[in-house]
């Protein structure tokens, strides 16, 4: 049996958790929306005790992260991986802010450009609202080949909407066998103008634009007439195949709702002077578009139409375009979006030194730059503001630097307030708590901490743990962490099988303090 000797040395540990980052910005460059790209941040613990990353915040869902371990041993480095998978062809600017267990915040700028494959939509890069609508109108008109109404129907019946000789009514689901206009007529089929002809005086090229033309049963076409689209409630005047008409509204069957919405939105963007008709339908059409994403059939149909009339429906190719348009039926003035995100709704620093300094970040997640920003604390003035940025561009984080000078030992609370000069429409208030001072010898002795190694059972035995102990760590003399235990109840014995002779260190952490002891195995 090995002889056991126990050495008890108590050390209060109050050093602030500190890390260094390998970069202050991750620039992903150009990334296709069909791909993704990953970059890394090396997070190094520069202290003599382990630190814990409490939270990682990224204020854009196109960026994601992975972190193998939230605990970083003394002197060790963890790799934080950040992936960028853009949904839009936009210039992205966001922030990554992570928070350590002691309340410290760290910031990394995230930038990159989303790109669409091909060149058809290149001119829409980084455009939204009316700028995007105008650019799409230009793209959809360029190279457009008017097939004429007769030609458009010939191609629709004979190819675009013909599957193995059969054509299906988009409203009722009825099938018929034909591939010519005369065949359509004899089968009681005709051509539905999703945007009714009466709303544009049957003018060309609108009349022949296949992106809003669909084969329909004659009766269903008549029932739709020139009614706007909507949700029919109560008892409908007519229903067939899931489509309904009633109350001066027409509701297509579920299978057609998405295609109907995209045809209407395409037409409004392509010709941009028919707001009086689409205005009342706009919200519902957007919802139908979002709820019923383009199917493989929609994609195939769009491709075939492009082969004939040389333009595309952009909302089939990129359904996400609708997210960048606020108003379809009117001039789409860029809205002022005033949003803020904070990494912590409340900050608990625990023990801090009287000369420590920490950063707090408030992220501008809107589309409006902040100016004239001011920071303050409550009248108690326990929290000292060293500096505060007075502006933050959209997508950037505003930095506030605080310290803890000139306070006697004790527990403190304060409120940090940030007045955004009405840029965000509100004042942000963050409660902050902290303690100043170091533990005295009496404080340590009062814990009556005891640690020793039980060689018979090969356990590390801890007795009289602090009541608020939350974690026990064991380190070897080479500075390697070899054991980590979360305390969910009073823990007295920690299995320690198979470890070699030598000097080991135990770290007992509470929410506000840490204590160390040494034990010797020989």
pLDDT over 60 (residue 504): yes
The SS3 of residue 143 is: coil
For residue 332 the two structure tokens come to: 């789409």
CB 178 within 8 A of CB 184: yes
Band (330; pLDDT cuts 50, 70, 90): very high
Instruction: Work out the average pLDDT over 177-202.
Output: 96
Q: Interior CA angle at 515 toward 511 and 518, to 5°?
A: 150
Strands (E), 104-240: 105-115, 162-163, 166-168, 175-177, 189-193, 213-217, 238-240
pLDDT over 90 (residue 85): yes
The SS3 of residue 134 is: helix
Instruction: Work out the average pLDDT over 164-170.
Output: 97
- Give the pairing type, strands 105-115 and 25-32: parallel
**Whole-number mean pLDDT of the chain?**
87
pLDDT over 70 (residue 15): no
What is the C-alpha separation between 453 and 431, in angstroms, rounded? Answer: 43
- Per the model's pLDDT, the better-predicted residue between 22 and 514 turns out to be 22
Q: What integer pLDDT is reported at residue 497 of this predicted model? A: 83
Helix H or strand E segment including 384: strand 384-388
Quick: pLDDT tens for 474-493. 877 666 777 777 665 445 67
Rg (the chain; Cα; Å): 33
Burial (CB count within 10 angstroms: exposed 0-12, middle 13-18, buried 19+), residue 436: buried
Band (264; pLDDT cuts 50, 70, 90): very high
Please state whether 280 falls in left (phi above 0), alpha (psi between -120 and 50) or beta: alpha
pLDDT over 60 (residue 242): yes
Q: Set out the domains of the chain in order of their start, with CATH numbers.
A: 17-115 (2.60.40.10), 129-324 (no CATH), 334-438 (2.60.40.10), 440-521 (2.60.40.3080)
| Pure H helices in 16-167 | 129-141, 148-155
pLDDT over 90 (residue 501): no
DSSP tag of 81: E
Share of the chain above pLDDT 70, in %: 89
Band (461; pLDDT cuts 50, 70, 90): confident
Q: What integer pLDDT is reported at residue 137 of this predicted model? A: 97
Distance of CA 247 to the CA centre of its chain: 40
Q: What integer pLDDT is reported at residue 261 of this predicted model? A: 98
Q: What integer pLDDT is reported at residue 33 of this predicted model? A: 98
Band (382; pLDDT cuts 50, 70, 90): confident
User: Between helices 282-291 and 254-271, what is the axis angle to 10°?
Assistant: 120
What is the C-alpha separation between 238 and 116, in angstroms, rounded? Answer: 43
pLDDT over 70 (residue 87): yes
pLDDT over 70 (residue 445): no
What is the C-alpha separation between 52 and 18, in angstroms, rounded? Answer: 10
Band (10; pLDDT cuts 50, 70, 90): very low
Instruction: Work out the average pLDDT over 156-183.
Output: 97
The SS3 of residue 199 is: helix
Quick: pLDDT tens for 34-75. 999 999 999 999 887 888 898 999 999 999 999 988 889 888
CB 168 within 8 A of CB 187: no
Q: What integer pLDDT is reported at residue 16 of this predicted model? A: 43
Q: What integer pLDDT is reported at residue 513 of this predicted model? A: 67
Global pTM exceeds 0.75: yes
Q: What integer pLDDT is reported at residue 17 of this predicted model? A: 45
Quick one: which of 284, 288, 293 has its CA closest to 317? 293
Q: What integer pLDDT is reported at residue 449 of this predicted model? A: 61
pLDDT over 70 (residue 248): yes
pLDDT over 80 (residue 9): no
């Amino acid at each position: 049996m090995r002889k056991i000797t126990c050495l008890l040395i108590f050390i209060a540990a109050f050093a602030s958790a500190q890390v260094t980052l390998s970069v202050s910005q991750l620039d992903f460059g150009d990334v296709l929306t069909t791909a993704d790209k990953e970059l890394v941040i090396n997070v190094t613990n520069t202290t003599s005790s382990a630190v814990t990353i409490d939270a990682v915040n990224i204020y854009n869902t196109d960026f994601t992260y992975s972190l193998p371990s939230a605990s970083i041993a003394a002197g060790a480095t963890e790799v934080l991986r950040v992936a960028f998978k853009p949904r839009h062809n936009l210039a992205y600017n966001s922030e990554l802010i992570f928070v350590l267990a002691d309340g410290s915040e760290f910031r990394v700028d995230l930038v990159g450009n989303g790109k669409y494959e091909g060149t058809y939509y290149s001119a829409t890069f980084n455009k939204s609202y009316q700028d995007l609508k105008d650019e799409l109108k230009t793209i959809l008109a360029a190279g457009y080949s008017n097939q004429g109404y007769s030609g458009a129907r010939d191609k629709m019946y004979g190819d675009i909407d013909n599957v193995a000789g059969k054509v299906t009514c988009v409203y009722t689901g009825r099938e018929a066998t034909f591939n010519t206009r005369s065949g359509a007529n004899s089968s009681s089929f005709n051509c539905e103008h999703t945007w009714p002809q009466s709303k544009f005086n049957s003018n060309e090229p609108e009349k022949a634009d296949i992106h809003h033309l669909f084969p329909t049963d004659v009766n269903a076409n008549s029932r739709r007439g020139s009614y706007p689209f909507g949700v029919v409630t109560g008892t409908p005047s007519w229903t067939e195949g899931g489509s309904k008409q009633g109350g001066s509204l027409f509701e297509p069957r579920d299978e057609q709702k998405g295609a109907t919405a995209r045809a209407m939105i395409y037409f409004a963007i392509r010709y941009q002077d028919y707001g009086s008709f689409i205005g009342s339908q706009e919200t519902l059409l957007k919802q139908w578009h979002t709820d019923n994403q383009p199917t493989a059939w929609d994609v195939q149909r769009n491709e075939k139409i492009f082969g004939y009339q040389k333009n595309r429906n952009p909302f089939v190719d990129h359904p996400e375009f609708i997210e960048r348009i606020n108003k379809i039926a009117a001039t789409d003035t860029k809205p002022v979006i005033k949003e803020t995100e904070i990494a912590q709704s409340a900050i608990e620093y625990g023990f801090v030194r009287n000369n420590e300094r920490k950063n707090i970040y408030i992220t501008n997640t809107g589309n409006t730059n902040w100016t004239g920003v001011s920071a303050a604390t409550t009248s108690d003035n326990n929290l000292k503001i060293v500096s505060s940025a007075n502006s933050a561009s959209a997508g950037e984080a505003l930095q506030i630097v605080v310290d803890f000078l000139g306070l006697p030992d004790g527990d403190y609370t304060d409120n940090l307030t940030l007045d955004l000069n009405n840029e965000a429409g509100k004042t942000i208030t963050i409660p902050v708590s902290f303690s100043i001072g170091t533990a005295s010898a009496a404080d340590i002795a009062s814990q009556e901490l005891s640690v020793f190694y039980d060689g018979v059972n090969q356990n590390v035995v801890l007795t009289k743990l602090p009541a608020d102990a939350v974690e026990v760590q064991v380190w070897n003399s080479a500075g390697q962490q070899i054991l980590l235990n979360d305390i969910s109840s009073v823990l007295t014995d920690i299995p320690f099988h198979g470890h070699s002779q030598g000097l080991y260190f135990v770290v007992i952490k509470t929410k506000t303090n840490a204590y160390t002891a040494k034990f010797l195995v020989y």
